[in-house]
Chain A
Amino acid sequence: MARVGVFAGITAALGLPGGFTVLGGVPITAQTLGVMLAGAILGPRLGALSMTVFMGLVAAGLPLLAGGRGGAAVFVGPSGGYAIGWIAGAFVIGAIVHAGGRKPVWWRTLLGMLVGGIVVVYAFGIPVQSAVTHLPLGQTVLASLVFVPGDLVKAVVAVLVVGTLVRAYPRAFRREWVSGRLPAAETGGAHR
């Protein structure tokens, strides 16, 4: 429970002002990195739950999204689908990265980030954006392509981070990779 809450907080912290602005001040932040890491570290169910909590706080009026946005407006605006996509994305990432209860390896992590973190998020985001702005679907896809390079960079960063974390702090994953999962309340000394 605490981990779910803290990860929602991590996602918020990654979107804090003074974060990382690239591309001449356009607010492309590290926030989607939080989505990717939540899924990869917490696994599908808890990862999705932590994103749900994050969205709950956003809905409650906290300006947690990048650029200080928040409130129920986020969910009815053009970005509403992406909010749902984050929840689904974290789930898919967790499911792929931890498929079969094995230790995350780089190619499976990368696959998870690309499918869950990019394809799934856009699959939810683009139709809603298209419906809200009345811009036809195909053209919304084209307009959204602008953000894909940034997401690719973040996917690569997320893979590197997960790889480092597996070696540096395996406790973070709360999982036993050799013989299935540990219950969440275990001491968490995952062996390699």
Chain B
Amino acid sequence: MITLYRPGDSLWHRLPTGRKAALLAALVLGISLVPVSWAWWGALIPAAVCLGCYAVPGIGVTRLLAQAWAARWIILVTLAGQLLFLGPQPAVVNTARVVAIIAVATLLALTTQVTELLDAIERGLAPLARLGVDPRRAGLLLTVTLTTLPVLARAAGHVREAQRARGARPRLRLFVVPFLVVALKHADELGEALTARGVR
């Protein structure tokens, strides 16, 4: 399973998950609270925070550029809408802020393993136990879903190949129905397997 996680030994990698999430959330909040009236500072401050976060040894600015490229559609849509309605200066400032927010928040996924984050979510849900949410069930549900993803991706591939082999043109509706049936059958089998192991 491909994740956003990139192994490494940077400062961010070594921070404990909970504290890292809190710190990054604070940075994101800080960036989004830079007032509009500061004009160009509104673009410079987020950019500086963002650079500062990525410039630690072991991550590097190239990673930042890769993130910006991954977010290119968001940037494009945001920039286009803003240029059209607000004019160039606010457009640049607002887009810079949005990109900085996304880039800083991405650091969490970049430097923390999925299993570790799932554990953190499970721990974070613990206070909800009083409201009737069972954090262990929630954690199990997330893990079960995680293991289902490759199975479903393969099933989707099979359906598509089978249709191509019969010379059908790829069409959304003709793909979705057989895929759903296969996936839901898998769900039933999975449910039986879970029930057999005492999970209801």
| Chain A interfacial positions (CB closer than 8 Å to B) | 1-10, 12-14, 16, 20, 26-27, 30, 33, 37, 41, 53-54, 56-57, 59-64, 67-73, 75-79, 132-136, 139-140, 142-143, 157, 160-161, 164-165, 168-169, 171-172, 185, 188
Q: Judging by beta carbons under 8 Å apart, are B187 and A2 in contact?
A: yes
Which B residues lie within 8 Å of A76 (CB)? Answer: 28, 32, 101-102, 105
| Chain B interfacial positions (CB closer than 8 Å to A) | 1-5, 21, 24, 28, 32, 36, 70-71, 73-74, 77-78, 80-82, 84-86, 90, 94-95, 97-98, 101-106, 108-110, 112, 114, 117-118, 121, 137-138, 141-142, 144-146, 148-149, 151-153, 155-156, 170, 172-173, 176-177, 179-181, 183-184, 186-188, 190-191, 193-195, 199-200
Which B residues lie within 8 Å of A6 (CB)? Answer: 145, 148, 152, 183-184, 186-187, 190
What is the chain A residue whose CB lies nearest that of B171? A20
Q: Judging by beta carbons under 8 Å apart, are A79 and B74 in contact?
A: yes
Shortest Cβ distance from A185 into chain B, in angstroms?
A: 7
Q: Judging by beta carbons under 8 Å apart, are A12 and B141 in contact?
A: no
A53/B142 contact (C-beta < 8 A), A71-B105, A185-B195 known: yes
A interface majority secondary structure: helix
Q: Judging by beta carbons under 8 Å apart, are A53 and B180 in contact?
A: no
Q: Judging by beta carbons under 8 Å apart, are A165 and B177 in contact?
A: yes
What is the chain B residue whose CB lies nearest that of A61? B109
What is the chain B residue whose CB lies nearest that of A64? B149
Which B residues lie within 8 Å of A2 (CB)? Answer: 144, 187-188, 190-191, 193-194
What is the chain A residue whose CB lies nearest that of B192? A2
Q: Judging by beta carbons under 8 Å apart, are B148 and A9 in contact?
A: yes
The contact of A9 among B71, B74, B152, B172, by CB within 8 Å, is B152
A-B contact pairs, 24 of them (CB 8 A): A1-B194, A3-B188, A4-B141, A5-B144, A6-B145, A6-B190, A7-B187, A9-B145, A41-B184, A54-B145, A59-B117, A60-B114, A61-B5, A61-B109, A61-B114, A62-B1, A62-B4, A69-B71, A71-B105, A72-B109, A76-B32, A133-B95, A136-B85, A185-B200
Cα separation A5 to B147 with both chains bound (whole Å): 9
What is the chain A residue whose CB lies nearest that of B77? A143
Beyond A27-B73, A78-B74, A171-B188, 7 additional pairs, beta carbon < 8 A: A1-B194, A5-B145, A14-B176, A73-B101, A136-B85, A143-B84, A168-B181
Which A residues lie within 8 Å of B3 (CB)? Answer: 61-63
Shortest Cβ distance from B156 into chain A, in angstroms?
A: 5
Number of A-B contacts (CB under 8 A): 208
Shortest Cβ distance from B28 into chain A, in angstroms?
A: 5
What is the chain A residue whose CB lies nearest that of B31? A76
Cα separation A37 to B112 with both chains bound (whole Å): 32
Cα separation A33 to B177 with both chains bound (whole Å): 12
Q: Judging by beta carbons under 8 Å apart, are A73 and B152 in contact?
A: no
Cα separation A41 to B186 with both chains bound (whole Å): 15
What is the chain A residue whose CB lies nearest that of B151? A9
The contact of A73 among B85, B105, B112, B117, by CB within 8 Å, is B105
Shortest Cβ distance from B101 into chain A, in angstroms?
A: 5
Which A residues lie within 8 Å of B176 (CB)? Answer: 14, 30, 33, 37, 157, 161
Which A residues lie within 8 Å of B98 (CB)? Answer: 77-78, 132-133
Q: Judging by beta carbons under 8 Å apart, are B191 and A61 in contact?
A: no
Which A residues lie within 8 Å of B188 (CB)? Answer: 2-3, 171, 188
Q: Judging by beta carbons under 8 Å apart, are A71 and B109 in contact?
A: yes
Which B residues lie within 8 Å of A160 (CB)? Answer: 173
